[in-house]
Each structure stands twice: as C-alpha cells, then as structure tokens.
Amino acid sequence: MSKIKLKVNSRLLRKKIRKQSYLTPKHCRFCGNPDQEVFLDYKNTALLKSFLTERNKILPSRVSGNCFYHQRHLSAQIKLARSMALLPFCAMHI
C-alpha cells in the first residue's frame, strides 16, 4: 500500500508539534533577576562551574536554559576566568 506523502508544510508542522510535545519550555534563570545577574562574574567560580560539563566544556544554552543574551555574557565570563586560571580549559590528565 502506497503511503500518501504530505506536503512539506504539513510535515514540518507535524514534526514541530511532535518536538514540542516532549520538550519542556526552558526559562533563563538570569532573566528578570537583577540579583542573579550581579553574580554573573568571572570571579564567581562557584556559579560558573555549574555551567561546565565534566570535561570543563561550556554547556549549550539548550541544556542550561539560558537565553541568548545571558549565555553570551556567561561564556564571555567563563573564557575570561579560564584565561586567568580560575577555571580550567579542559579535563586534566593524571
């Protein structure tokens, strides 16, 4: 039995609906919180470390839930902290 192929628009729409069904809406923890934004500093290694993976790579915003503005700010601070030896660049080899 031959399948009826839908038009491109409907296929893409169905795909989008399917994807939305299992993705939870992410919200940025920095947006709208001025006191959290104050902590977004290259000296604050405790907070910045929570945005790094095990191998000390920066987490993408789709995982951490940050908005574009704060993710950019965060990665700039992480890179500055890395250059000042406050955070590591990569996983350490024993």
Choose the stretch contacting other proteins; rule: CB under 8 A; options: 1-9, 21-29, 66-74, 83-91.
83-91
Q: Is 94 in the site for other proteins (CB under 8 A)?
A: no
Residue 38 interacting with other proteins (CB under 8 A):
yes
- Residue 58's DSSP bridge partners are 52
Contacts from 76-85 at CB under 8 Å and sequence distance 24+? 77/40, 77/41, 77/42, 77/48, 78/42, 78/48, 78/51, 78/52, 80/42, 81/42, 81/43, 81/45, 81/48, 84/42
Determine if 84 is a binding residue for other proteins (CB under 8 A): yes
User: Does 58 participate in binding other proteins (rule CB under 8 A)?
Assistant: no
**Contact region with other proteins (CB under 8 A), list: 2-10, 12-20, 62-70, 78-86:** 78-86
Where do contacts with other proteins occur on this chain (CB under 8 A)?
38-39, 41-47, 80, 82-89, 92
